[in-house]
Structures are given as structure tokens and as C-alpha cells.
Amino acid sequence: MKQILKRLSTASNTDALSTHAVSRKRGERNPVQRLLLPSLLAALLVGLTPGGALLAQQAPTPVPLDIPPGPVSRFPTRFDVVDAPEQFDQVLMIIDFPSGAWTPPHAPGGSLYMTVIEGEISTRNMESSGQADTYPSGSTFTASPGEYLELGNVGAANARIIATVLLPKGAPLTSQRSASGSDAAGPADGSGGQDAVAPASHPTTVHQSSVEVERPTGAFELVHLLLDLDSGVRTPPHIHGGQELVIVTTGAVTLQRHGEAQVFAAGESWVNTSGVVHAVGNDGRDFAQLVVTFLLPAGRPLTTVA
């Protein structure tokens, strides 16, 4: 059977950044064993993929995730990526699940990588008689096209995830299963069709950004990271070993690069290509937060202070 499936709060465990434990339910490396609009909800509706299915080629031993000094880093997680398309859109989403919120059964158009950063997320695999799994804060799971899944929050508190999908050019973001059992592109609202009964509560994509990508040469990793910046906190000038896609989720930050300074507010995003010297700081009075995803060629350091 097919195996499927653009800132937030606590100090990082720096010792964990150099440790590459194996996720308890999937095979991706995870050092921290800790869709806005319903239009993107269906990107989550996918089946779980055992991490072993992602290991089509042997990658070099990964180097520790050296986080930019200054901000407090949380939930640094990493995934091996193989068999990526030659060209794809890297789509980053921050998704909230209120208590009781569930998605209808959908499947994604590309490989999906998820990190739970608040609460717990439950899944129901529609291809395995509704088999359920639960992922607490800090857990990771993956999804790939083909098998249908529901994601939800059965807890009393809000749940939130970071989700990155590597969407092949021209592929639909999601698909749904029609009443006849055939696959079709999902509706914009993710509702499952005009005649479908809307659930009482929907997950919400609160932030989303994307960038076109040409596949890195050789094996590479996808990295998730959450950075908290109190007022006055900034990084030194630094570079990354791979492409960086950033969304400001709370407050505002100042990005310095190419001799210029730009201010980005909550909901805005930017991209840094590998080797671009830059620095980020919180020059305001309020707390700021960033969610970041990297495409990191295997063996390269995540961060090098310039």
C-alpha cells in the first residue's frame, strides 16, 4: 500500500542541536523530541509516511544545527529530503487548530513536512480503517501524495503546526476524493464541495508564503526553526549554508543585508539565498517572532557568523 503522507515561546535546548535522535513514529531526524483561509486546509490532509521511505540515498553525516546567536530558538527539527522534483514551490504555512477542529479527508500535491509547536495533533488515516495517531508538541511527521488523512485537535487547548510542502510545478496544492471514489482537485475553501456538511470548527492557516526553487544538487535536508526576539535582541551578521524562507509571525523585525535595512511586520516574509550576509534584529518595544524553513544541502553548516 502507498505510504503517504512566511516568531512563537520557550528557550531552546542547545545540547539537542548537535543530537540527531530518530522520531519515535517516523524516521526523520528530530533533535527536539518535544490552510488564513480554509483554502489551504487540505494541504494537511495526508497520510503519514515512514521516514525510511525518505531515505532513497545515503546522506553524509549531518552537522549540528548552529542557530544564529542572539534570539531564543525553539523546535529546531530536520528532515531528509530525497526524490524532490527538479523545480518546485517551497510553501511555508503556520496553521492553527482550535479545540475540536478537524480537516476533511484530502491529500497534498507534494511532499509535506510538519512540526507540532503547540498542543497536540491527531491524525486519522482513511486508507487504514481510520487508524489514529497523536503527535504532541515537538513531534514531527511527514506526508506525501496519494493517501487520504484527516488532521484534528481533540484536546482542550489550541494546537499549532509549522508545515512546509515541496509542491511540484503545476501540481494542485490538494486533492479530494469524490463521492465516486476518484481523485479531483480540492475546492478553494477546502470544504469538500457544495453539498458537503461543514465541520463545526476549521483549522486556519494564519501565515503562508512560498518561493520557487530549483532542486539543490545532491542530498539535502529541510529544517524548521522558530526564533523569539525580545526588544533589543539581534543577531550578528551571518550566512546560511542553504536557502532560507522566513515569515514574521509576531511583532516586527529589521533585516539588514546588501547595505540596506528593511522592516518586516507580522505576516510578511523574505528569502535569503545561500551565502548572503545578513542580520536580523528587534528594534521595537514589543516581542517579535519568526518561523523559518531552510533547504540545506547535506553536510553544510546551517549558520556561520560572518
pLDDT per residue, tens digit, the chain (306 aa), is 333 333 333 333 333 333 333 333 343 444 333 333 344 443 444 344 443 333 334 445 567 777 878 899 999 999 999 889 999 999 999 999 999 999 989 898 999 999 999 999 999 887 766 668 999 999 999 988 777 889 999 999 999 999 999 999 989 888 876 644 555 554 333 434 433 444 458 899 999 999 999 998 889 999 999 999 999 999 999 999 999 999 999 999 999 999 999 999 999 999 999 999 999 999 999 999 999 999 999 999 999 998
Residues in contact with 98: Cβ distance below 8 Å, sequence separation at least 6, in sequence order = 153, 158, 201, 203, 204
Q: Is residue 97 part of a domain?
A: yes
Neighbours of 255 (CB within 10 A): 17
Given a contact cutoff of 8 angstroms between Cβ atoms, the answer to whether 175 and 181 are in contact is no
Q: Is residue 2 part of a domain?
A: no
Q: Is residue 187 part of a domain?
A: yes
Residues in contact with 49: Cβ distance below 8 Å, sequence separation at least 6, in sequence order = 3, 4, 5, 26, 142, 143, 144
Q: Is residue 289 part of a domain?
A: yes
Q: Is residue 1 part of a domain?
A: no
Q: Is residue 27 part of a domain?
A: yes
Closest alpha carbon to 266 in 229, 301, 305? 229
Per-residue confidence (pLDDT) for residue 224, from 0 to 100: 98
Q: Is residue 152 part of a domain?
A: yes
The domain of 101 spans 14-305
Closest alpha carbon to 225 in 240, 214, 236, 205? 240
Can you say how many angstroms the Cα of residue 59 is from the centroid of all Cα atoms in its chain? 21
Closest alpha carbon to 79 in 44, 48, 55? 55
Q: How far apart are CA 273 and CA 243, in angstroms?
A: 4
Q: Which residue has the cell 484530502?
A: 106
Given a contact cutoff of 8 angstroms between Cβ atoms, the answer to whether 289 and 248 are in contact is yes
Per-residue confidence (pLDDT) for residue 47, from 0 to 100: 40
Q: How far from 120 is each of 117, 149, 213, 226, 258, CA to CA, in Å?
A: 8, 16, 31, 17, 41
Per-residue confidence (pLDDT) for residue 6, from 0 to 100: 35
Please count the structural domains in the chain.
Answer: 1
Closest alpha carbon to 168 in 225, 216, 109, 234? 109
Which CATH number does the domain housing residue 286 bear?
2.60.120.10
Report the relative pairing of strands 278-281 and 252-257 from DSSP bridges: antiparallel
Q: Is residue 9 part of a domain?
A: no
pTM: predicted TM-score of the whole model, two decimal places: 0.75
Can you say how many angstroms the Cα of residue 195 is from the centroid of all Cα atoms in its chain? 31
